[in-house]
Chain A
Amino acid sequence: MPRTDTLQGALALLALKILSRRGPLHGYAIMSAIQEISADALRVEEGSLYPALHRMEECGWIQAEWVAAEAGPRKRVYKLTAAGKKQLAAEEGRWLAVAGGIQRVLRMA
């Protein structure tokens, strides 16, 4: 996906990371997981979560599957693919480098 700006990139990175740790999840679960783990510091908007998920799906990083729920409508569950794992590693490395850079600048300047 060519036009990923940093924030969108960050959302994708977080979603991929969570899927890699917690296994297949549906959109709401991913959203709450990010909120939970970041101790409410990061709030994901529904309006950007789903487009991000769909883009990742079309890129082949994650795969979606409809799963029947015990109650209520069926759920669309996302799962990390091999390509997604690769992407996660790359994104994570890049993020850490950028974050480290920013931190250094903040400290030293």
Chain B
Amino acid sequence: MPLWNKIKNVFRRDQLNAELEEEIQSHLHEAAARGRDAKEAQRAFGNSTNMREASRDLKLAAWLDNLRSDLTFASRQLWKNKVASAAAVVSLALAIGACTSSFRLIDALLFRPLPVANADRLHVVTMSYTDAEGKQDYGDSFNYPLFRELRQTLKDEAALIALGYTNRQDITFGSDNEMERAHRQHVSGWTFAAFGLKPVLGRLFTENDDLRPGAHPVAVLAYDYWRRRFGLDSHVLGKTFRLGKNVYEIVGVGPEGFTGTETGTPADFFTPMMMNSEAINEAGWQWFRTWAAVKPGVSLELMRQKSEAIIRAHRAERVKQWPAGAPKDRIAHYLNTSVELQPASAGYSGAQKRYRKALSILVVLVGLVLLIACANLANLMTARASARARELALRVSIGAGRLRLIQLMLVESTLVAVCASVLGFAFALWSAPAVMSRINPPDNPMRLALPSDGRLFLFMMALVFLVTLTFGLFPALRASSVRPASALKGGEDPHSKRRLMHALIAAQVAFCFIVHFVAGLFLASFDRVSRQPLGFSPDRVLTLDAATVDKAPPEAFEQVVAQLRSVPGVEAAGLSSWPLMSGSGWNSDVYVNGGPPHPIAPYFLSVSPDWLATMKIPLLAGRDFRNEDAYPRVAIVNESFAKKYFEGQNPIGKSFEKDEGRNPTRRVRVEIIGYVKDARYSNMRETIPATAYFPFRSVDEKGAPVQKQPGAFVVRTASANPLALASMLRKAVPLARSEFRVSNIQTQQELVDQHTVRDRLLALLGAFFALVALVLAAVGLYGVLDYSVLQRRREIGIRMALGAQPLNLAWRVSAGIFGMLLLGSAVGLALGLLSERYIESLLFDVKVTDWRILAAPAITILVSAILAAILPIVRAIRIDPVAMVRAE
């Protein structure tokens, strides 16, 4: 009989019985009609119940039927203990929700394959290097001439694809007054074909769209952008938009779900590599990643070796053009790079690199919270089972098998787990996007597709299964081994159950300790990193990114700054190539006293007069720039610069040389006219780099002013909320020079905060999990203590009757628990210390062995344990010995 019919029959048993009865009646009627004796016919049927059973040989049905009654029984049980059940469900839901939500994030960021035909064959070529501190790291930026060479040489092994970094651009669809931001990714013309992608509208690029520099102003929209920006309007084909100097025509829309390869930063539109025309033939311009769709049967190691040989040869060629006297070890590091092929089926992005470890540590924390919740439930189930010992014993004595009892208990556990996972799923639906929006700075948050699909469903099923087994199976096994004779007499060894509970308490405390310890590290680390001295004041400072179609002459910038300064509510204004802490940077070698290049290259920033005052960077000696100063003649340097290159002496009047732009053979001489205090340039964690500020205005060899692209205007406002001035400032810029547009306004504080986003996230989530873990563990502790007092009330009563002191009793009741507390803390401490090496790289200036960080969780847990223990202990010493002894 098909399984389905059997299952169906279980649920329509009443109907089947009625039908059987009707059929029998119809038979008897027929018999009577044919003249048979009614009584005889009736007798011939025999016992109709027997027939009913014989009618359906139903082992499965019996089992299913039992299951149904177990379910009813279990839900009745849960309903009876509403508070305890709700607490169990909610705590497990919290843990399951946190697990599910981390799974969604991690899966979306690190594991979900790109929606392309051959995701498992995709690799990204990376090159290892040694950074300034001597640590090994790897880079993935390539220049186009090298890419051409690689593509040609490896064409039999793999399809090589150049894919740019997805970044935000200012584009205009209508007039230049309506600038908007969208994410662009440069892609090789053959990318879509190599990925096996089909357009939903128009066409995708082909190799012919990527032939000559600057000659293919065409764009393909990502489906998601098409939906968001154009509402799936098919008239988008042929529309044009302006980006920089080029006007692009939209030729097609990509397939649904494909948003480029930069996981976490979806691309809105794609342009051919050749459209970055200035960079295409420059070997000094590293601006995209090299992807390889490896052909089947090709040895990855062989391909790696081949690429390594090409890249090393390319570098050997490049190094010949380096200025004479470059440090030997720098040359050696450059030449001896080793090449890796990193699997990139889930896309490839800086966000993955930055958050891989942070997320995996959060998973460990979440897992520990889940285990704590499971331990709670296991204790709850054990307590409940022992309260039901007589009922279970009765079931055994009327013939219930052991399996039947296990089933009964497991059904209850599963019911709890399923309820909790439904709630947890709802929690994850909300929390995963909420956490995601806190990754990366607020104006450019991480964007990941977080679908609720089969992968998520499978994960949740597996989780429920595991959780049920973890907390349900052991108590079920124990409860099922009940011996009716002794249980019905009311006296099994009560300590055996407590031993299990105590072991679980120790485990809970250990897990709780680890969670607290790690959260404490994250909190301390965030506290220290956000207290790093900046060297400038971000208060009330706005940064205005400006954009123009063409380069502008120096007077234009002066006019805009003057206009901004005249806006009411503005205290000071200036201009720099980019704001401090924006992530952009410029550094190159300098030569002091005609010597070889200094091993450490300083950072540079072009700034206008008054910029230093606007940022409140104090001048130590010399003077600020004036309007007539120009790059590369003069510079203002910071303390760190003086320390590194001039032994800490006052550098005013001294000079240094630096390479002039792209031409490495020509050097320019720079005179130092100002000396300022250190200010952070682009990083919160490293020491403040040697920095030289140059005038924004620059001149060429002949002294003629150079036209420049605008940078960022900075404005210090008088009002506490600087953004209140934003719209007025936005209007003021084109008022001064009509060709200038403001493309983005941010507070300087936001730019600073973006460097501590990960620390803040870890601290926030760490604190949240620590709180949840503490509450769960305390509830667990309370439950176990309460149960053991309840169980030992006879003993306590007798002891009291014999004259035991309350303090002594309190000690007797809680000693075991506090022993477990110490044991758990010790284990947690040891595990916490072991974790140091793994989380070290995420911490800033925090030592794991710092006693304050070790003491905090110990104290918190101890205090909560005492709080949780007070109530049961008070209950124990309040037991009235007379009532207790009489009750027995």
Contacts and interface: CB of A to CB of B under 8 A. Distances in A.
Interface string B41-69: 10011100011001111000000000000
A26 B30 contact: yes
Contacts of B5: 58
B724 interface: no
A59 interface: yes
Contact of B45 (A26, A46, A54): A46
7 contacts: A1-B57, A28-B34, A48-B54, A50-B55, A54-B55, A54-B56, A72-B30
B27 A46 contact: yes
User: Which has the most chain A C-beta neighbours within 10 Å: B22, B30, B33?
Assistant: B30
Contacts of A74: 22, 26
A26 B31 CA distance: 12
A76 B44 contact: no
Interface in A68-83: 69, 72-76
Nearest to B56: A54
Contact of B26 (A58, A60, A72): A72
A45 interface: yes
Interface string A60-99: 1000000001001111100000000000000000000000
A83 to B, nearest CB: 11
B296 interface: no
Contacts of A51: 51, 54-55
A69 B5 CA distance: 28
Contacts of B51: 47, 50-51
B282 interface: no
A27 interface: yes
Contacts of A28: 26-27, 30-31, 34
B35 to A, nearest CB: 12
A21 interface: no
B595 to A, nearest CB: 95
Given A50-B20, A76-B19, A55 B44 contact: no
B23 A76 contact: yes
B802 interface: no
Contacts of B27: 26-28, 46, 50
Contact of A73 (B2, B22, B46): B22
A1 B51 CA distance: 17
A1 B2 CA distance: 10
B704 interface: no
Nearest to A59: B1
Nearest to B46: A47
Interface string B10-22: 0000000001101
Given A26-B27, A74-B26, 11 more contacts: A26-B30, A32-B34, A47-B44, A54-B20, A55-B55, A55-B57, A58-B9, A72-B30, A73-B25, A75-B30, A76-B22
B1 A73 contact: no
Interface string B239-263: 0000000000000000000000000
A50 B26 CA distance: 12
A7 to B, nearest CB: 14
B64 to A, nearest CB: 15
Nearest to B50: A47
B51 to A, nearest CB: 6
A60 B31 CA distance: 28
A46 B41 CA distance: 9
Contacts of A50: 20, 23-24, 27, 51, 55
A104 interface: no
A64 B24 CA distance: 14
B731 interface: no
Q: Which 5 A-B pairs have the closest CB atoms?
A: A28-B30, A58-B1, A51-B54, A47-B46, A72-B29
Contacts of B57: 1, 3, 55
Interface of B: 1-2, 5-6, 9, 19-20, 22-27, 29-31, 33-34, 41, 44-46, 50-51, 54-57
B50 A73 contact: no
Nearest to A44: B44
A47 B46 CA distance: 6
Nearest to B32: A72
Contacts of B26: 26-28, 69, 72-76
Nearest to A47: B46
A107 B875 CA distance: 91
Contacts of A29: 30
Nearest to B42: A46
A72 B25 CA distance: 10
Nearest to A67: B26
Contact of B44 (A3, A32, A45, A54): A45
B45 to A, nearest CB: 5
B139 to A, nearest CB: 67
A60 B2 contact: yes
Contacts of A58: 1, 5-6, 9, 56
A50 B9 CA distance: 17
Contacts of A32: 34
B23 A27 contact: yes
A26 B30 CA distance: 10
Contacts of B22: 73-74, 76
B23 A72 contact: no
Nearest to B22: A73
A51 B26 CA distance: 16
Contacts of B20: 50, 54
B103 to A, nearest CB: 43
Contacts of A73: 22, 25-26, 29
B468 to A, nearest CB: 32
A45 to B, nearest CB: 7
B32 to A, nearest CB: 9
A72 B54 CA distance: 27
B143 to A, nearest CB: 71
A51 B20 CA distance: 10
Contacts of B54: 47-48, 51
A40 to B, nearest CB: 14
A32 B31 CA distance: 10
Contacts of A55: 1, 55-57
A77 B364 CA distance: 64
Contacts of B55: 50-51, 54-55
Nearest to A27: B27
Contacts of A1: 1, 57
B44 A46 contact: yes
Nearest to B19: A76
Contacts of A45: 44, 46
Contacts of B31: 28
A39 to B, nearest CB: 17
